[in-house]
Amino acid sequence: MKLENTKDYIAGLFEGDGHISIAPTSGEQYIPRWNITGHIKDLPALEHIKGKLGHGFIRRKQEENAVV
């Protein structure tokens, strides 16, 4: 997948089932997180996106057959 196509794909995923969360840390700092939730079968695509972005992590939600 080309980078140009990846950007459109990521935007579509975020628009469909994404959200931004802001987690507090020690002190008065906050860490914004950009989240996309998908079915476990989408794991290879999310790993590809993570590789293109160069950072991030993927969390599995076993009970819901989902990844975030």
- Asked if residue 3 has pLDDT above 70, the reply is no
Q: What is the pLDDT of residue 58?
A: 93
Q: What is the pTM of this model?
A: 0.66
4-56 per-position pLDDT tens digit = 666 777 777 777 778 888 887 777 788 888 888 888 998 998 888 888 888 88
Look at residues 8, 4, 47, 7 and name the one whose alpha carbon lies nearest to residue 58. 47
Q: Residues 68, 36: contact at Cβ < 8 Å?
A: yes
Distance (Å, whole) CA 36 – CA 58: 9
